[in-house]
Structure formats: C-alpha cells, structure tokens
C-alpha cells in the first residue's frame, strides 16, 4: 500500500528538512544515551541497507551521516538534531557485520534496550532493501517492535534498482506481510537515495507524525 500526500504536507516536509541539521550525540551504550527531550525518530535496518545514505538524502547533505560500503560501519546510536524540531537517530545495522561476534552482540543489546525503553521515541522507520524484501533478520526486529508496542513504518530503500513492475509487487507483498503486525503503520514508502524518488513523501510522513505528536 502506498500513499499520496497533499501539497501542503509535502511542503511542510520540505521545510522541516530545509533548516539546520547537525550532529547532536553518539552513544555506544545505554548509560551513554542523551537526556530525553525532543521527539526522537529512529532509522533501523540491516547492515548496508542504506540508512546513512537516506539520512543524507532527507537533509540534502552529502556527509551528515557517514556512509560506507563496508557493512557494520555505524557502530553507535548517532543522534542528529533536525530543524530544532526532533532528533533523527541513525542506529547500528543489525545482522551481518564484519566485526567480532562480541561486538555484534553489544550492538544488538543496545538496539533492543533503546527500542524497548525510550519514552521520547515516536516511531522507528525500518529500512528494507527493495530488491530483497523482508528477510528473517528483519522479522526479528519487527517482532521486537510489536512486542514493545513501538510504532514503526517500513521504508523500502534502493527502489530504483527494482525494474519494471517489480517495485509495485514488492510494495504489495510487504504491505500484506505487515497487515498482521499490530505496531506496523500500514503505508509502505519506497525510496531511492540515489535518484531522490520517495524522499519528499518520507519527509511528509515525518512532518505528519510530528504534527500528530504536537511537536
């Protein structure tokens, strides 16, 4: 299921991300998290799914979030202040990472603890590679979010690499999988950081969420 946003909301999304954006905080452990304050919106996804690239595309900046072709490059929860309205949290990639099992275990615990216990967390955007769809490692995170009653929405990344009618099929397949999940937002948002497709709609979705939260 996809969604069309009205022009006013698309403009609100554009303005939201047109202002100041900067690095706020990095946390490698639960005690190292910043004090709870502004609304937080987190991006979660498998290693190398394109989280950092999407953060950069949303903010129109080339290097706000570090990108790498090496899975597991993001090793902390990175908090970015966006327009004085909210914090965008770039989370460590889950699943495969070219580091020790001990390090992966530490990241996984941090992700789980953050998702379970952060009262200022308004929504998690779960990034799924449009070429592959929901994998078992994604389902583990979706199960966690459902059990913790944390609102989440799926964003398909690298949508430009799915040809022909494949993207519509992937969106429909993903929507059907989410229909049985209690904490999932029903709208699936396909995006491409490379071409910019879907970026205005994702900005609008975040602007709408902030309006609903009174932020």
Q: What residues make up the domain containing 168?
A: 7-213
Please say if the pLDDT value at position 3 is more than 80: no
Q: Is 172 within a domain?
A: yes
Total structural domains within the chain = 1
Distance between CA atoms of 21 and 39, rounded to whole angstroms? 15
pLDDT tens, position by position, 139-195: 988 998 999 899 999 999 999 999 888 999 999 999 999 999 999 999 999 999 999
pLDDT level of residue 72 (50, 70, 90 thresholds): very low
Q: CA separation (Å) from 128 to 46, 70, 102, 210?
A: 7, 17, 25, 23
Question: Comparing 102 with 63, which gets the higher pLDDT?
Answer: 102
pLDDT for the residue numbered 63 = 61
The tokens for 74 are: 């993001």
pLDDT tens, position by position, 6-21: 999 999 999 999 988 8
pLDDT tens, position by position, 123-145: 999 999 999 999 998 998 899 89
The tokens for 191 are: 């995006």
Q: Is 2 within a domain?
A: no
Q: Is 169 within a domain?
A: yes
Q: Is 61 within a domain?
A: yes
The tokens for 16 are: 């939201």
| Whole-number average pLDDT of the chain | 87
Considering the chain, what percentage of its residues have pLDDT values greater than 70? 89
Give burial (CB, 10 Å; 0-12/13-18/19+) of 45: buried
Closest CA to 89 of 57, 127, 43, 130: 43
pLDDT level of residue 66 (50, 70, 90 thresholds): low
pLDDT for the residue numbered 103 = 67
Q: Is 191 within a domain?
A: yes
Please say if the pLDDT value at position 44 is more than 70: yes
pLDDT for the residue numbered 126 = 97
Q: CA separation (Å) from 213 to 86, 101, 131?
A: 11, 38, 33
In which residue are the tokens 């966690």 written?
A: 144
- Please count the CA atoms within 13 angstroms of the CA of 108 that sit on its side-chain side: 17
Q: Is 1 within a domain?
A: no
Enumerate long-range contacts of 59-67, CB under 8 Å, 24 or more apart.
59/17, 59/21, 60/17, 60/18, 61/21, 64/21, 64/22, 64/23, 65/90
Closest CA to 175 of 158, 157, 153, 197: 153
Q: Is 81 within a domain?
A: yes
H helix intervals, 48-125: 51-59, 101-117
Query: 34 near 40, Cβ under 8 Å?
Result: no
pLDDT for the residue numbered 149 = 92
Please say if the pLDDT value at position 69 is more than 60: no
> Domain with 191 in it: what CATH number?
3.40.50.300
């Amino acid at each position: 299921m996809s969604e069309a946003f009205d022009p006013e909301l698309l403009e609100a999304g554009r303005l939201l991300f047109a202002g100041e954006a900067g690095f706020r905080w990095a946390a490698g452990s639960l005690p190292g998290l910043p004090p709870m304050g502004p609304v937080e919106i987190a991006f979660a996804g498998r290693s190398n799914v394109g989280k950092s690239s999407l953060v950069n595309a949303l903010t129109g900046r080339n290097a706000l979030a570090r990108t790498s072709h090496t899975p597991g490059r993001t090793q902390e929860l990175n908090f970015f202040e966006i327009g004085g309205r909210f914090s965008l949290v770039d989370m460590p990639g889950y699943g495969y990472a070219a580091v020790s099992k001990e390090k992966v275990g530490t990241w996984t615990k941090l992700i789980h603890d953050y998702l379970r216990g952060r009262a200022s967390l308004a929504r998690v955007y779960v990034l799924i590679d449009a070429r592959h769809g929901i994998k078992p490692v994604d389902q583990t995170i979706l199960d966690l979010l459902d059990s913790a009653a944390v609102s989440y929405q799926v964003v398909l990344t690298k949508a430009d690499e799915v040809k022909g009618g494949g993207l519509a099929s992937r969106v429909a397949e993903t929507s059907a999988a989410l229909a049985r999940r209690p904490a999932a937002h029903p709208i699936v948002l396909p995006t491409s950081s490379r071409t910019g497709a879907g970026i205005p709609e994702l900005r609008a979705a975040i602007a709408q969420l902030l309006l609903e939260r009174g932020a």
